[in-house]
A and B are shown apart, each in its own frame.
Chain A
Amino acid sequence: MPLISVVLGRLSQAFLLLIAMSLIGFIGVHSVGNPVFNVVNIETATPEDIHAATIALGLDQPIWRQYLAFIGNVVSGNFGTSYIYHLPAFELVMSKLPATLELASIAMLIAAPLGTGLGLLAGRRSGTLFDRTMVKASVSALSIPSFWLAMMLILVGAILTGWFPSGGRGLTASFLGQEWSFLTGNGLWHMVLPALALAIPNIALIARLSRSGTIEVENLDFTRFCRAKGLSSRRILLRHTLPNISVPIVTIIGLQFGGMLAFAVVVETIFSWPGVGKLLIDSIQLLDRPVVMATLTFIAVAFVALNALVDLFYAVLDPRVRLSS
């Protein structure tokens, strides 16, 4: 199957997924409460008020028309105005995005090389003390609930030692019209703990994956041949083993980056990092429905898009994917 049809197939799949999600979201939103009572006061409203509000909200239209209007709003990024901030909800989400993106990127920049490296080393010396310690450490790192890990990082890194700040974003510098923390020393200092909280479970996950890949590849004929040829074990590991295990690792990095957008909810709340996740939790607690909808939609769409991208990347990297389907 040529690459182009794989691309088209995957994109239409992602598109269908989004349509299904929007349908479920639409039904979900419309099955809880009558939105008219968000607009008019339930105790003092006359039947005329309610009728006027129903027309104003478009609730007198047939259901499929309401759905089309909903889709139109979602596509144009119109989720209504925040009840709290009095700003368009989607703009609010976008204004918080740089903070989340830079945190997730830094976390992934820590997790990807560290996890791959640890996995390579452990896999090459499988069965040794280092390997067994690594496996046990990764199991427990994946068992720790992320919020508790974040709190322990604050306890050790901020309260007991006083090395790092316990929360906030620190100083930011302007770049491309947005404020970024990673451009200032103080901002980077603020990022250390939250980035570690996001990175540690991913280090464990990537290390497990690259360890099992390494063990598999190290037993294949070509590595034995390399060894017989007298190549140094470092060269075998970096030039021959690493490229052969890279495809699943790249996949998991892409998927986990999407997962980080979802897990940022927890880490951002704990470190009071003003990103999309903290906005979501704050808005849920303040009953700011437009912002909640906009944030959840954004995270879900971003995740589906990332998934599709990773799959496409897979097809480009690995000819077997193209040929088998």
Chain B
Amino acid sequence: MKAQIVSALKRRRHGPVLTASKLLLASYILVAIAAPLIAPQNPYDPLQIYGWEASSPPGTRGSGGYLYLLGTDGLGRDIVSTILYGLRISLVVSIVSSALAALIGLTAGVSAAYFGKWVDIAIMRLVDLQLSLPTILIALIAIVTLGPGIDRIILALIIAQWATYARIARGVALSEANKPYMDAARLMRLPTSRIIFRHLLPNSIAPAVTLIPIEVGHAVALEATLSFLGLGVPIDKPSLGSAVANGFQYLLTGQYWISLFPGLALFGLIASINLVGEDVRRSLDPRNHSL
């Protein structure tokens, strides 16, 4: 027994990689919030951009008097500022879409479990259909049908991600639906929407919610990929993915910094979200608490 407790405690102790990724993720979120305060330049404001300083290598001193620490892109935008502002867009898009996808997926999954019969069949067939195809393909089909724009890309990400939540929530809700408190709620003749949203949903939410951080990581990568392909956010307000894409044509002529640094920032973001998300999921998973 003692050995088991010790090993359980050991498992909970953080490795240096996890601590580092937690710090990294926290600083990402901080600089994304503080971007307008700390960015040397507002990359959306044409008055602050000097077109003739386009594609300056890292360390160039610009005519604004400040240093282009990581160089400028093909339009003369400071790479540091582009990364900071792009980070905001990437994070907002992926967090909003993951939260909405979780909400929709949970509601759909719980409704499927509660109503059963044809509602269940219809919803779960759709879920099976979606989960049998690669996410990138679903997102591509959605964005092709919806057209470009930030709101559309959020919608496409929701369409690509809701099914995972629905499947998990349905499984939990099925086992909750037969518990005595549900019978009590039904016997009290509470309205169906109240039973679903106030009783069944809160009790079925936990396993799906632990997925959200990991899904945010997926959403960041997916948004970046769509933007890279030119199907995501508009080009004048680049996310990290489109910042990488903007630099791609310059990469071939050796101007590596335009896409290398936004790409590194993106990689760090996805890796830290993945590692932290995996840790959140593991520490919230009740199976890991049994001693």
Residues in chain A within 8 A of chain B (CB atoms): 17, 20-21, 24, 28-29, 31-32, 136, 139-140, 142-148, 151-152, 154-155, 159, 166, 258-259, 262-263, 265-266, 269-270, 280-281, 284-285, 292, 296, 299-300, 303-304, 307
Contact = CB atoms under 8 A, between A and B. Distances in A.
Contacts of B241: 145, 147
A270 B141 CA distance: 20
Given A145-B266, A300-B133, A281 B229 contact: yes
B251 interface: yes
A151 B229 contact: no
Interface residues of B, number: 40
A292 B221 contact: no
Contact of A307 (B132, B136, B228, B245): B132
A114 to B, nearest CB: 22
Given A17-B132, A28-B145, A143-B270, A265 B224 contact: no
Contacts of A154: 251-252
Given A154-B252, A262-B137, A303-B137, A143 B145 contact: no
Given A265-B140, A303-B137, A151 B125 contact: no
Interface in B99-138: 125-126, 128-129, 132-134, 136-137
A22 B228 CA distance: 28
Nearest to B245: A147
A148 B252 contact: no
Nearest to B135: A262
Contacts, number: 108
Interface stretch (B37-45, B175-183, B256-264): B256-264
Contacts of B252: 154, 159, 166
Given A139-B274, A145-B228, 13 more contacts: A20-B129, A29-B145, A143-B271, A145-B224, A148-B224, A154-B251, A154-B252, A159-B256, A296-B137, A300-B137, A303-B132, A303-B133, A303-B137
Contact of B244 (A151, A280, A300): A151
A140 B270 CA distance: 9
Given A21-B129, A265-B136, A296 B144 contact: yes
21 contacts: A20-B125, A32-B145, A32-B147, A139-B274, A142-B274, A143-B270, A147-B225, A147-B228, A148-B259, A148-B263, A151-B244, A151-B251, A151-B259, A166-B252, A258-B134, A262-B134, A266-B229, A281-B231, A284-B144, A300-B133, A307-B132
A142 B256 CA distance: 23
A149 B93 CA distance: 22
A209 B229 CA distance: 30
Interface in B222-248: 224-225, 228-231, 241, 244-245, 248
Contacts of B260: 152, 155
A303 B266 CA distance: 29
B17 interface: yes
Given A166-B252, A281-B230, A303-B137, A151 B270 contact: no
B254 interface: yes
A21 B128 CA distance: 11
B119 to A, nearest CB: 16
B267 A145 contact: yes
Contacts of B87: none
Contacts of A296: 137, 140-141, 144
Which of B128, B137, B231, B267 gathers the greatest number of chain A CB atoms within 10 Å?
B137
A284 B144 CA distance: 7
Contact of A266 (B129, B132, B145, B225): B225
B84 interface: no
Please list the 8 inter-chain residue pairs (A to B) with the smallest Cβ-Cβ separation, ordered nearest first: A143-B271, A148-B263, A262-B134, A262-B137, A147-B228, A28-B145, A145-B221, A143-B270
B275 interface: yes
Nearest to B125: A20
A17 B134 CA distance: 14
Contacts of B263: 145, 148, 151-152
A257 to B, nearest CB: 11
A290 to B, nearest CB: 13
Nearest to B145: A28
Contacts of B147: 32
A300 B126 CA distance: 15
Contacts of B132: 17, 303-304, 307
A265 B137 CA distance: 9
Contacts of A258: 134
